[in-house]
Structure 1
Amino acid sequence: MSVYSMTGYASGQHILAAATAGAPATRIGLEIRAVNSRFLDISFRLSEELRAHEPALRELLQQRLKRGKVELRAGVESTASDAVREPSPRLLQRLATLQDSVRAWMPDARPLGVADVLRLSATDGAGGTDWTQPLMQLAREAVDELQAARAREGARLATMLLGHLGQLRTLAQQAAPLVPQLVEQQRERFLERWREAMNLAAGATAPQAAEDRALAEATAFAIRIDVAEELTRLASHLDEIERLVKKGGEAGKRLDFLIQELHREANTLGSKSASLELTRISVDMKVLVEQMREQVQNIE
């Protein structure tokens, strides 16, 4: 199953033949834009002729999409080159009659202007047109195109995520041997300080109590800087992220949670750091995790 991005765009148009000879044909134009969102948020911008079809369009989008902020725009327009339909004498007579009737009851009503007449003539005869079949067919094709675009973007995101997982595993492997080395170095440092404090000769042996105290300090230090547990959890999270990416489907929310856990482990690794090298590894990890967070927030 593919990983889908929440970002995509699709558009299309469908031309209907003119109802009468000599009249311009009618074109339905439709476009869908989608960006990332925590939930599925659908909005519509439909022309007056198509507003009745909003429930059917919403149902189609809800069946195919799970997350994202989606905007669907659709409208009807004439294909005539001048984009203006000349009103017929019959229509002008009807409009004049209707205007007289309205103003008889409402004397203060504004008279019809040229723009009003042209707008009404553009929709004249279209009121009885059934747009259902061409509109829904166009919408299904646009959603297919949108899903294909989201799948292509999702594949790119999956590749980037898997690459970042490999880099994080490399950093974890670099961090693992550092802690035992630091513990041994600190143990020797504690013993050396105790010897200096007691003014012992280089070849002398410290009292057992002093040496035990130094070893206890070294042990406490080892416990404080031990990151084995963090590295184990980090490896587990990386394995789970890889499994979800390869499985595909609706993985965005779970991936987002795992990225938060990765960031927490990288932070803890930095807070326990006792060397510049481990600090550098922690910083590099957090940079990679932040890049992954931005990518995961765009996955459905």
Structure 2
Amino acid sequence: MESMTGFGKGVFQSDNYTITVYAKSLNSKYLDISLKLPKRYTFLEERIRKFVSQEFKRGKIEIQVKCVGTDLSQKEVLIDIELARNLKTSLTRLKSELGFEDPLTFSDFLKFREYLLLEEKEEELDKLWEEIYPPLNEALKALKASRLKEGENLKNVLKIYLEKLKDETLQIEKLKEKAIKDSKEKLKGRIDKLFKEFNLREIDENRFYQELVYLLDKIDFTEELDRLKVHIFHFENTMEEEDCGKKLDFICQEMFREINTLSNKAQSSEISIIAVKIKELIEKLREQIQNIA
């Protein structure tokens, strides 16, 4: 089991520069990768995203890269000579036609910066990747270890809640026969009272028994209890799977649906109290599951 929260750090140091990568992970329904890269490594954005997505399936992953050194900020001044020459010709003609007396200076050219370009020295992508891969890989491994460690803690918490859930479900199992018997007796008493009160003599027996079967089915919560136990068993097994967060959340929804229907059918104050406890436990399970990848 893997948590979606964690932190990792990786450092690569050469004689002239140091690259530090920070990797942080938070909760998210999906995989959401955000990058903060120095300009030098912006061309590697897609490659970094792909690399991260191979290691993680869920969570908001924030990757920050910091560089300190002398060899990482080399720039070249690139001059578009042809554009500058055309600009000079146009400015000279404009000066002549408008009668300007001041001579052209370099500051006049700087007003038209389109022809003057400052660019980082172009590097091969593979070389850039060789620089950033070691600290990135180290940071992601540390992040994975952090998430797995936190995941084990979460699993232990889930197991505690699950054992309590089993105990409460067992209490309902013990009360089931008595609760169903009591409900049937109440139903029988209501039917007898109706017959006496309204002096019913002629009834449609087929319709009567159809309605009786329907009412008896409404007070029998055996199926709901059995399905609840199946979901608990399924939950326990699913905790051992990878990337189980979404599946566990779905199982919790199903458990909540079953205990809600069961409580309505049971018409028992004792079972209603236990059902409230079970709902609270399911909610606690869901709170923890929001952190699971």
TM over 0.5: yes
Task: Please report how far the alpha carbon of residue 189 of structure 1 lies from its aligned counterpart in structure 2 after TM superposition.
Answer: 5.2
Q: Trace 1:44-83 onto structure 2 (pairs within 5 A).
A: 44-78=35-69
Partner of 1:17: 15
Task: Please report how far the alpha carbon of residue 277 of structure 1 lies from its aligned counterpart in structure 2 after TM superposition.
Answer: 1.3
Instruction: Evaluate the alpha carbon distance shift between residue 219 and residue 180 of structure 1 in structure 2; reply closer, same or farther with a 3 A threshold.
Output: farther
Q: Quick check: 2:19–2:65 contact (8 Å CA) kept in 1?
A: yes
Q: Quick check: 2:19–2:66 contact (8 Å CA) kept in 1?
A: yes
* SS of residue paired to 2:239: helix
Query: 1:56 & 1:64 partners in 2: Cα distance?
Result: 13
Query: 2:235 & 2:112 partners in 1: Cα distance?
Result: 69
Aligned: 1:37 with 2:31: no
Query: 1:49 & 1:192 partners in 2: Cα distance?
Result: 84
Query: 2:136 & 2:105 partners in 1: Cα distance?
Result: 41
Query: 1:101 & 1:172 partners in 2: Cα distance?
Result: 90
* SS of residue paired to 1:151: helix
* SS of residue paired to 1:12: strand
Unaligned runs of 5+ in 2: 78-103, 203-208
Aligned: 1:107 with 2:108: no
Task: Please report how far the alpha carbon of residue 101 of structure 1 lies from its aligned counterpart in structure 2 after TM superposition.
Answer: 9.2
Task: Please report how far the alpha carbon of residue 237 of structure 1 lies from its aligned counterpart in structure 2 after TM superposition.
Answer: 0.9
Tell me which of 201, 222, 227 is aligned to 1:228: 222
Query: 1:258 & 1:5 partners in 2: Cα distance?
Result: 18
Q: Quick check: 1:183–1:221 contact (8 Å CA) kept in 2?
A: no
Query: 1:198 & 1:190 partners in 2: Cα distance?
Result: 14
Q: Quick check: 1:186–1:218 contact (8 Å CA) kept in 2?
A: no
Partner of 1:238: 232
Partner of 1:251: 244
Instruction: Evaluate the alpha carbon distance shift between residue 103 and residue 225 of structure 1 in structure 2; reply closer, same or farther with a 3 A threshold.
Output: farther
Letter in 2 for 1:272: K
Q: Quick check: 1:12–1:31 contact (8 Å CA) kept in 2?
A: yes
1:107-163 superposed Cα distances (whole Å, 9 cap, x missing partner) = 387xxxxxxxxxx9xx99x87695432310111111110110111111111222222
Instruction: Evaluate the alpha carbon distance shift between residue 297 and residue 190 of structure 1 in structure 2; reply closer, same or farther with a 3 A threshold.
Output: closer
What TM-score does the superposition give when structure 1 sets the normalisation length?
0.70
Partner of 1:167: 164
Tell me which of 265, 270, 293 is aligned to 1:272: 265
Percent identical residues: 30
What TM-score does the superposition give when structure 2 sets the normalisation length?
0.72
Query: 2:154 & 2:215 partners in 1: Cα distance?
Result: 41
Letter in 1 for 2:21: L
Instruction: Evaluate the alpha carbon distance shift between residue 233 and residue 188 of structure 1 in structure 2; reply closer, same or farther with a 3 A threshold.
Output: closer
Instruction: Evaluate the alpha carbon distance shift between residue 223 and residue 13 of structure 1 in structure 2; reply closer, same or farther with a 3 A threshold.
Output: same
Unaligned runs of 5+ in 1: 19-25, 80-84, 86-90, 95-99, 110-119, 200-208, 210-215
Task: Please report how far the alpha carbon of residue 105 of structure 1 lies from its aligned counterpart in structure 2 after TM superposition.
Answer: 2.2
Q: Quick check: 2:11–2:138 contact (8 Å CA) kept in 1?
A: no
Letter in 1 for 2:109: W
Partner of 1:290: 283
Task: Please report how far the alpha carbon of residue 173 of structure 1 lies from its aligned counterpart in structure 2 after TM superposition.
Answer: 1.0
Task: Please report how far the alpha carbon of residue 269 of structure 1 lies from its aligned counterpart in structure 2 after TM superposition.
Answer: 2.0
Task: Please report how far the alpha carbon of residue 65 of structure 1 lies from its aligned counterpart in structure 2 after TM superposition.
Answer: 1.0
Query: 1:5 & 1:267 partners in 2: Cα distance?
Result: 29
Tell me which of 256, 260, 276 is aligned to 1:263: 256
Q: Quick check: 2:23–2:143 contact (8 Å CA) kept in 1?
A: yes
